[in-house]
Homo-oligomer: A and B are copies of this chain.
């Protein structure tokens, strides 16, 4: 009997099934440094212990998106090793900052299943939660992936279950780190003067900077999160000899590029929705633009919330274009991410 994992197929999942993901991971200052080398990130809260302390935190947390990657990576062997496509995210909430030294584990519950119309694969919905070493939940999100069937001829074993997912995380569900306090926020150190009141719903920002992706970089990133999906690493896996770039790599690039115009978006509080609209490959040059979708106040001192859509696009894409007339993403759009950030009031 083989000892290796071939990953699960659509038939292996059942609604309500609990998946306890393996390989706990202690996150360190080393991970932060590699992350900084991989992305042009400059958010002050995740860059400086001193800045973080001035904002009421005990020290600088790692980037929220980096914590997301660690948790996501744990789920790959159990959820998406045989995935045809990573279809979307919803109901993502960041529940507690992750600090260097924290050890993260992850678990998922299968919350939905639906066979595709051609019968060759099915969509699996999971709700994943990451925990630190004290058992505290640090983040949770739903994602759904298209997974191959082991036996394409077999009929669907279960009636379809499609979970009802919120179109956005409600403002009352945004978790602000307990001691976060932006009342003495230093805009000069943070890099931009724009506070919550300066952003208006509907406003759009072109983040100006762009970065060209290298094979070595996306593989370093993907391995850092112990994400094992073959398609990212093995140039012989696909017929075209191309390595598909982990969608999270593009999320981190877009988040880092968004600094230019959103430098004060120090905390990612929620992911409302996310789509990897088109695959990215080495050699692509990536830019990003954002739109302010909504604004809200929080109870925390000096802390406001902005709902942002950030769109990562290939260089040369027309400004602020996202969907075609049929409502489908344009070919130049790589990522369409709808999320809440916390900014100083």
**Chain A residues near B (Cβ < 8 Å):** 2-6, 20, 22-26, 28-34, 36-42, 44, 47-51, 60, 77, 100-101, 103, 105, 133, 188-192, 194, 198, 205-212, 214-217, 219-221, 223-224, 226, 228, 230, 233-237, 243, 260-263, 285, 315-316
Contacts and interface: CB of A to CB of B under 8 A. Distances in A.
5 contacts: A3-B194, A24-B48, A26-B60, A40-B226, A209-B228
B4 A260 contact: yes
A2 to B, nearest CB: 7
Contacts of A25: 47-48
B188 A243 contact: no
Q: How many copies does the complex hold?
A: 3
B5 A26 contact: no
A44 B30 contact: no
Given A3-B192, A20-B188, A285 B211 contact: no
A231 to B, nearest CB: 11
A212 B23 CA distance: 24
Given A4-B261, A191-B22, A228-B42, A212 B34 contact: no
Given A48-B24, A191-B22, A36 B224 contact: yes
Given A23-B189, A211-B234, A233-B209, A37 B223 contact: yes
A175 to B, nearest CB: 24
Nearest to A210: B234
A65 to B, nearest CB: 15
Contacts of A285: 234-236
